[in-house]
Amino acid sequence: MASAAAPDHLFNLRINFYLGSYQSAINNSDLPNLSPDDAVERDCLVYRSYIALGSYQLVINEIDSSAATPLQAVKLLAKYLANPHDKESTIASLKEWLADPAIGNNATLRLIAGIVFMYEEDYIEALKHTNAGGTMELHALNVQIFIKMHRSDYAEKQLRVMQQVDEDHTLTQLANAWLNLAVGGSKIQEAYLIFQDFSEKYPMTGLILNGKAVCCMHMGNFDEAETLLLEALNKASSNGGNQIFISLDLNL
Amino acid sequence: MLTKFETKSNRVKGLSFHSKRPWILASLHSGVIQLWDFRMGTLIDRFDEHDGPVRGVHFHMSQPLFVSGGDDYKIKVWNYKLHRCLFTLLGHLDYIRTVQFHHEHPWIVSASDDQTIRIWNWQSRTCISVLTGHNHYVMCASFHPKEDLVVSASLDQTVRVWDIGSLKKKTSSPVDDILRLSQMNSDLFGGVDVIVKYVLEGHDRGVNWAAFHPTLPLIVSGADDRQVKLWRMNDTKAWEVDTLRGHMNNVSCVMFHPKQDIIISNSEDKSIRVWDGTKRTGLQTFRREHDRFWILAVHPEMNVLAAGHDSGMIVFKLERERPAFAVSGDSLFYAKDRFLRYYDFLTQTESQALTIRRPGSTTLNQSPRTLSYSPTENAVLICSDVDGGSYELYVIPKDNIGRGDNLQEAKKGLGSSAIFVARNRFAVLDKGNNQVLIKNLKNEVVKKSGLPVTTDAIFYAGTGNLLCRSEDRVVIFDLQQRLVLGDLQTPFVRYVVWSNDMETVALLSKHTIVITNKKLVHQCTLHETIRVKSGAWDDNGVFIYTTLNHIKYCLPNGDSGIIRTLDVPIYITKVSGNTVFCLDRDGKNKTIVIDATEFIFKLSLLRKRYDQVMSMIRNSQLCGEAMIAYLQQKGFPEVALHFVKDEKTRFKLALESGNIQIAVASAKEIDDKDHWYRLGVEALRQGNAGIVEYAYQRTKNFERLSFLYLINGNLEKLSKMLKIAEVKNDVMGQFHNALYLGDIQERVKILENAGHLPLAYITASVHGLHDVAERLASQLGNDVPPLPEGKEPSLLMPPAPVTCGGDWPLLRVMKGIFDGGLDSIGRGAVDEEEEEEDAGGDWGEDLDVVDVDGLQNGDVTEILEYGEVAEENEEEGGWDLEDLELPPEVDTPKVSGGARSSIFVAPTPGMPVSQIWIQKSSLAAEHAAAGNFDTAMRLLNRQLGIRNFAPLKSMFLDLHTGSQSYLRAYSSVPVVSLAIERGWSESASPNVRCPPALVFNFSQLDEKLKAGYKATKAGKFTEGLRLFVSILHTIPLIVVESRREVDEVKELIIIAKEYVLGLQMELKRREMKDDPVRQQELAAYFTHCNLQMPHLRLALQNAMVVCSKAKNWATAGNFARRLLETNPTNENQAKAARQVLQAAERNMTDAVQLNYDFRNPFVTCGATYVPIYRGQKDVSCPYCTTRFVPSQEGQLCSVCDLAVVGADASGLLCSPSQIR
């Protein structure tokens, strides 16, 4: 009768986080009966949601020096994003931690390193820490880095790895959509379908809407893209970029 | 075997289906004949007149008759409508085994243990033939369905076929019958009418049953030798074809299936067997524990059979008749025979999609059971019971729909149900391990997941979810989270129908429908007495469903009703508006138009959409008791009021809804006491005293009326009442009224008149009317009653009423929506678009020939100012190369890092899409889109000699941003920018780059041109100029596809240039109010720009007016002539021109000399606005081709404001087709 594997307590939290509904990730994070590891992961996701919402200071204040390594890494990311002027010192301590054999291999730390170096546009350095993979998140980040480097061939390899681990994982699907968009052509439609699947299955988020809109734009369907983006705009305010030239495309 | 209906009774020996109705007759060993409705499962009637077992029974094809024959040697003909036996046919000398009506003649054939078969005419009620020859009991006899044959089976081990052709001839005249009646006895043995055609010998024991094939010359027989034999016959002989062995005991009955190639037999071995008619092998066996089977019956039309056994009978089907189907959007996929077919709801056309596996004929019920379809992948899962439950996966080739002749090898697997759970994933139920396997389209297992409850079927429940059915409950299970999302106790669910928005679901069981939301939270349950068959959601959230014989609806609150009845069961596939799409049992698509008014009306009420309710009340004819009752029950008597014509009902409803006005009107119509009374009661409740009074008056209810007046304090009327009572001689009434009035004298008088002297005396004395009292005392004499002692008398006076007369404050009656709402049907205020074009708004300056001095300047200054501002704007912000930051992608990446990592070598960054664009293209627009502004500028400079890029700056930026999209991928990670390409199509192959999407295109320019024309016509020159200039500025960044379009673009440059030049001159002219000569010149040059005809006319008129005002009559005359040559459509224009021409002819001189020779062709210099006559030297702009006087060489072109006059340029390049 009982299912083979235990139910995944953090499932909804992760989905919310990956799909960009950060507020509901934060709101629904109060989960009972978590193992210590799960609790740390939960905290990471919650704080990263706060970061995604721009509440850097809150994260910096709440994570104290006794917290676990992953949390420290998250705090580092918050610091990096909060003080663009003082990023050198953040990067310095990041490098220092990465060099520490005790914690240097921590997945979250490596993930944060990848993100920070992506901001620095130092993709080579980012890959140095992330390419080994280990978690779905790291793989997904790799895919994105490769896309940024315009190396869709490498991105595809990463995606293959993810698909072998779990083809139906949300991140696998997302990464697949990113790659499809990057390579273009008939793949655009597949990307659209992936976002469409998400929108059927989960509440609409800005991220999904934006994804769909981008697909629509690539397919030359600017009217639909505009509706989607306007909807996204109601939900979140981080899609300004696309909005601008949609209006260009439509009105000129 | 699918049992549809079962009865428990005495042994059933005879069975007969009704040809039209769902009825079956069962004759019992106890002598009773039962009439059942097997669909409803009810006993309709029983007929109990036979004495002893009834072995044969048969319905007539068309008349309301049936015949029965029993062990009492009697054949009875019954009328089931009259519920009685009409007559009895006597003649057989032993038990009667079977009876049967002929399909067209008024005949009955009967078989009896007296070794004869008799044929009777039931109209003349005589025996017309006795068939002798069998030398043992005749167990059965039946007519051939078409030919003049009878087949019989006997315990003498033979089957006989009789030719009754001669009988038919003889009975053509009814007189014959009577004639033959006398001959009967002589014919009794060795009759001449009917002869034995064939005697079929082969069975080793007595034969119990023989039957004809409905169409082929075949006979099947069953005997006590436990065998079923198949015989074939032709015109001359009959022979045994095959023997079907398998029964373990006497075969009691055997028949051909009316539609399929199968034989059904039953036996005393307690089994029913189904045989393949061609292969003659056993297909299936159904056994009963304790009951021997005696009889079979097949329905002539419907696909049902019946079998009688020791303790009752069963009505059953051999195969499911529901076609498997799946609906997706506007398409329906369904299985029919060995094809998967496709039906389009929009066009209502159907076509073949695929050939699927041929349903195996080894066993029955192997046809597809369920279908699941994935629209995006165009894949179909077909589940059937083959191999104990298996599925097949087909992918429909996209281009092949409609042909579907190819046989595709399906991907197969075992599993009792399989459904798509996502675009490219399907779940297969593994009952044994109670788990589902998630598979991909390659039929590979991706995942396994245990199920939370013991599941025997799975249904779709949204992406990634399953609806698991177990015996008494359903569960929605999230496959990814392995979580139960919803759980509900229900009867055994057969079908699941989701609403279009996937928010609600209908769970169909055999006799119930449960409607829940997507989390299985119960919303309502419907119980049906008849089997529920199918259903679909309509667009309004009403569930339309079918039972065996009805189409019904169910509203969200659980209210349901019948829409219409059905003759045959159908399976609803989709409901769209008034149209119900369905499949019938033969797999044909049908559409049924239903009257949706009733349920839409109820739905509107339910949703409180009273405006719709009102309009429906007005426009449709949904009346009827049921609707009124419904409205009353639902608390909408006021709505019901609108339907009703019948005054009594109307009155009732009016009272119920408190609508006193309507109630009064109705009461007047009805005018009977009871209604007036009820009206009075309601009016009293509402406090409407006027109506109450009226009602009481109408009913002459004086007591109540008096009391009402008392309460109202209406003393005047009260005293009137007193008089009325007096007139009517109603003492009691008088007294009451007097009491209410407090009129003691009156009371005493009344008492006195009524003869109650003692009472009158006491009243008088108590109230101190001593004189009266004394008078009365004297009359009473000795009988003066003693006054009560020790009591303080008080005067009884009615209290003063709070309000006098009129109504009390009225109760507030709910009126609102329906009374007022009737009128407020929305008035669509259509904004009339104003007729916009008023030619010559600013062309103004009407010609006034008489008053030549009246110079009008209009509001030119304002416009000029505007123009200046615009110019200033254009000047600012010169092209500044340093402003431009190259997009980050172009940055050369740092390669240094690579060496540091020993194991992992990071790949070198690839080439950004924008770079690919640049490499491929020499079109400036594409370079700009790629963000390579410097090369774009270089290209433009080379191609068009453009040096001033300031006007293009914003367009460059637009192009660049417009060709990028930004994907927010991972949280807190920089966005990914993606290049948008032009001309995307579904079939484009990935990784092949198309040119960038550009924000400017040719059609936009076309619109601008039109706007420019319009502005020019309206005289908004600054606006027009702005538009034409912007056309000129956009063209360098236009990309078109074909050569032809290139030519169009080039044409457009010329048009725009001419207008820009013309409008610039016209604006300049208006600036120069104090220089009439120059004004005239500019107006003249303007007329030589290549303009549209209406614009040219206006320009000519303008020039004409200007010149005539300056008394340059000759020139003005020339303009007038040219104007007239264009045949102006505007009469005023023409008139003015003629006037000028007349004036000019009188005076063919010019007051001032102009630099203008209209005879000599010329072009106007774009900068200095002087004519350059043919043959004079000039230079031109390499882009817009405007000509200039040579001194302008090297200057910026003043028309397009882009290129350098006289510069070298290779020409416009705006299409890839120019390069190829």
Chain segment B891-915, per-residue pLDDT in tens: 443 433 333 344 567 777 777 777 7
DSSP B1196: B
The four Cα atoms B643, B646, B649, B652 give a dihedral, to 10 degrees, of 100
Residue B859, pLDDT score: 42
Phi, psi of B145 (to 5 degrees): -65, -25
- The DSSP letter of residue B254 is E
The first and second tokens of residue B926, run together, are 């594409």
Mean of pLDDT values over B678-697: 81
DSSP state of B410: P
* B451 inside 8 A of chain A by CB: yes
On whether any CB of chain A is under 8 Å from the CB of B975, the answer is yes
pLDDT band at B872 (very low <50, low <70, confident <90, very high): very low
Q: What is the pLDDT of residue B834?
A: 39
| Calculated CA dihedral for residues B594, B597, B599, B600, nearest 10 degrees | 120
Q: How sure is the predictor about B1133, in pLDDT bands with cuts at 50, 70 and 90?
A: confident
H/E stretch holding B25 reads strand B23-28
Alpha carbon of B498: minimum distance to chain A alpha carbons (Å): 14
Q: Would the ipTM clear 0.85, i.e. be above it? A: no
Measured distance CA(B814)–CA(B656) in Å, rounded = 11
pLDDT of B273 above 90: yes
User: Is the pLDDT at B788 greater than 80, yes or no?
Assistant: no
Give A17's contacts in chain B (Cβ within 8 Å). 971
Instruction: Quickly name the fold that domain B610-780 has.
Output: 1.25.40
* Domain A11-132: which CATH number of 1.25.40.10, 3.20.20.370, 3.50.50.60, 3.40.50.1820: 1.25.40.10
Residue B754 tokens read as 């009524």
Question: Comparing B839-853, B1007-1021, B1113-1127, which segment has the lowest mean pLDDT?
Answer: B839-853
B968 with A210: Cβ contact below 8 A: yes
DSSP per-residue letters across B833-882: PP----TTTTT-----SS-TT----TTHHHHHHHHHHHHHHHHSS---GG
Alpha-carbon radius of gyration of chain A? 19
Average pLDDT for residues B861-874, to the nearest whole number?
Answer: 42
Work out how many CB contacts closer than 8 A connect A with B: 204
What is the percent of chain B where pLDDT is above 90? Answer: 18
Can you tell me the distance from the alpha carbon of B492 to that of B469, in angstroms, rounded to the nearest whole number? 8
Token code pair at residue B34: 């039962």
Phi/psi for B491 (5° steps) reads -65, 165
Read off the pLDDT of each residue in B764-783 and give the average, rounded to a whole number: 78
The strand order across the sheet containing B218-223 reads B207-212, B218-223, B227-233, B238-245
User: B464 contacts in A (CB within 8 Å)?
Assistant: 201
Higher pLDDT, B12 or B1143: B12
Measure the CA–CA gap between B14 and B35, rounded to whole angstroms: 12
User: Best of A3, A120, A179 to disrupt the B interface by mutation (most B CBs within 10 Å)?
Assistant: A3
d(CA B673, CA B145): 69
> Which band of pLDDT confidence, cut at 50, 70 and 90, is reported for residue B66?
very high
Q: How confident is the model at residue B1129 (pLDDT cuts 50, 70, 90)?
A: confident
From B889, B897, B970, residue closest to A124, measured CB to CB: B897
Residue B376, pLDDT > 50, answer: yes
Tell me what the mean pLDDT of segment B549-555 comes to.
89
Do the beta carbons of residue B127 and residue B110 sit within 8 Å? no
Q: What pLDDT score does B730 carry? A: 80
Q: Which residues contact B1182 (CB under 8 A, 6 or more apart)?
A: B944, B945, B1203, B1204, B1206, B1207, B1208, B1209
Rounded distance, CA B408 to CA B611, Å?
55
In chain A, which among 65-94 make CB contacts under 8 A with chain B? 77, 81
Say if CB B189 and CB B132 are below 8 A apart: yes
User: What confidence score (pLDDT) does residue B811 get?
Assistant: 61
pLDDT at B867 over 60: no
Q: Residue B810: is its pLDDT beyond 70?
A: no
What number is the average pLDDT over the span B122-130?
Answer: 89
Interface of B with A in 495-554 (CB under 8 A): 502
Facing residue for A201 by CB, picked from B463, B895, B901:
B463
Give contacts of A118 with chain B, Cβ < 8 Å.
Answer: 973-974
Confidence at residue B750, expressed as pLDDT on a 0 to 100 scale: 84
- Kindly tell me if the per-residue pLDDT of B655 is higher than 90: no
Residue intervals of chain B classified under CATH 2.130.10.10 are: 2-167+192-317, 494-607
- Confirm if B1189 and B1168 have CB atoms less than 8 A apart: yes
Q: What number of residues does chain A have?
A: 252
* Residues contacting B883, CB < 8 A, separation 6+: none
Most confident range, picked from A38-42, B543-547, B671-675? B543-547
The answer to whether the CB of B419 falls within 8 A of the CB of B385 is no
Strand (E) positions, B375-492?
379-384, 390-395, 411-414, 418-422, 425-430, 435-440, 445-450, 457-460, 465-469, 473-478, 483-489
Report yes or no: B395 at the A interface, CB cutoff 8 Å: no
CB atoms within 10 A of CB B590: 12
Task: Please indicate whether, in this complex, the C-beta atoms of B968 and A148 are within 8 angstroms of each other.
Answer: no
CA–CA dist B1120, B386 (Å, integer): 95
> What is the chain A residue with the closest CA to B960?
A245
> What pLDDT, on a 0 to 100 scale, did the predictor assign at position B401?
52
Looking at residues B742-748, what average pLDDT do you find?
80
The DSSP code sequence of B541-563 is SPEEEEESSEEEEE-TTS-EEEE
> Is pLDDT at B681 greater than 60 in this prediction?
yes
Looking at residue B481, its amino acid is: Q
Q: What is the pLDDT, as a whole number, of residue B192?
A: 55
Tokens of B57: 């029974």
* B1007 and A CB contact within 8 Å: no
**B464 interface with A at CB cutoff 8 Å:** yes
**Does A232 contact chain B (CB < 8 Å)?**
no
Q: Which CATH superfamily is domain B494-607 in?
A: YVTN repeat-like/Quinoprotein amine dehydrogenase (2.130.10.10)
Among A126-135, B399-408, B494-503, B1157-1166, the range with the most confident prediction by mean pLDDT is B494-503
Amino acid letter, residue B951: P
Give yes or no for A244 touching B (CB within 8 A): yes
**What pLDDT does residue B813 have?**
55
**Residues B938-962 as b or e (16 or more Cβ within 10 Å = b):** ebbbbbbbbeebbbbbebbbbbbbb
Q: Tell whether A4 lies on the interface with B, counting CB pairs under 8 A.
A: yes
pLDDT at B427 over 60: yes
Please count the other Cβ atoms lying within 10 Å of the Cβ belonging to residue B12.
27
Quick one: pLDDT band at residue B823, thresholds 50, 70, 90?
very low
Task: Tell whether the model's pLDDT for residue B1064 goes beyond 80.
Answer: yes
Query: What SS3 class is residue B477?
Result: strand
Q: Which residue has the higher pLDDT, B158 or A31?
A: B158
> Do residues B243 and B268 touch, judged by C-beta distance below 8 A?
no
pLDDT tens digits along B297-355: 999 888 899 999 999 999 998 888 888 888 888 888 888 877 888 888 888 888 888 77
B540 vs B603: CA distance, rounded Å: 8
pLDDT of residue B900: 39
Closest-CA residue of chain B to A138: B970
At residue B930, does pLDDT exceed 90?
A: no
Residues of B within 8 A of A146 (CB-CB) are 907
**Do B344 and B328 touch, CB atoms closer than 8 A?**
no
Please state, in angstroms and rounded to a whole number, the distance separating the CA atoms of residues A142 and A126.
9
Cβ of B480 within 8 Å of Cβ of A48? The answer is no
CB B546 within 8 A of CB B538: no
Partners of B968 on chain A (C-beta within 8 Å) are 20, 206-207, 210-211, 238-239
Counts of helices then strands in chain B (DSSP H, E)? 30, 61
User: Residues of CATH 1.25.40.470 domain(s) within chain B?
Assistant: 610-780
Q: For residue range A150-177, what is the model confidence (pLDDT) as tens digits?
A: 888 888 888 888 888 888 888 888 889 8
Percent of chain B with pLDDT over 70: 86
Architecture of domain B2-167+192-317: 7 Propeller (2.130)
Residue B195 bridge partners (DSSP): B163
Whether residue B479 contacts residue B427, with contact meaning beta carbons closer than 8 Å, is answered with yes
- Indicate the pTM of the whole model: 0.63
Instruction: Tell me which chain B residues have a C-beta less than 8 angstroms from the C-beta of A187.
Output: 990
Nearest alpha-carbon partner for B377 in B320, B435, B442: B442
Evaluate whether B89 touches B125 at the Cβ level (below 8 Å): yes
Q: Which of A69-83, B829-843, B848-862, B876-890 has the highest mean pLDDT?
A: A69-83
> CA nearest A178: which of A205, A225, A141?
A141
Flag if B968 and A238 touch (Cβ within 8 Å).
Answer: yes
The CA distance from B348 to the nearest CA of chain A, in Å, is: 28
Q: Report angle CA B977, B941, B963 to the nearest 5 degrees.
A: 15
Task: State which residue of chain A sits closest to B971, comparing Cα positions.
Answer: A52
What is the reported pLDDT for B462? 84
pLDDT of residue B889: 42
Contact A180, A196 (CB under 8 A): no
| Average pLDDT for chain B | 80
A22/B contact by beta carbon, under 8 A: yes
Q: Give the pLDDT band (50/70/90) at residue B45.
A: very high
The answer, for B665 touching chain A at a CB cutoff of 8 Å, is no
d(CA B455, CA B493): 12
Whether A239 and B376 lie within 8 Å, measured CB to CB? no
Question: Could you tell me if B1159 lies within 8 Å of chain A, comparing CB atoms?
Answer: no
Name residues whose C-beta falls within 8 Å of residue B693's C-beta, 6 or more positions apart in sequence. Answer: B705, B708
Is A210 an interface residue toward B (CB < 8 Å)?
yes
Q: Which residues pair with B85 in a beta bridge?
A: B78
Cross-chain CB nearest to A77 (options B454, B908, B972):
B972
Mean pLDDT to the nearest integer, B1112-1136: 83
Question: Which parts of chain A have pLDDT scores under 50?
Answer: 1-5, 238-241, 243-252
Across A130-134, B484-488, B1049-1053, least confident range: A130-134
**Is any Cβ of chain B less than 8 angstroms from the Cβ of A37?**
no
Q: Give the distance from CA B606 to its chain's centroid.
A: 19
From A70-79, B436-445, B446-455, B960-969, the region with the lowest mean pLDDT: B960-969
Dihedral sign computed on CA atoms, order B478, B484, B486, B488 = positive
Residue type, B223: A
Query: Which pLDDT score, from 0 to 100, does residue B857 have?
Result: 44
pLDDT of residue B120: 92
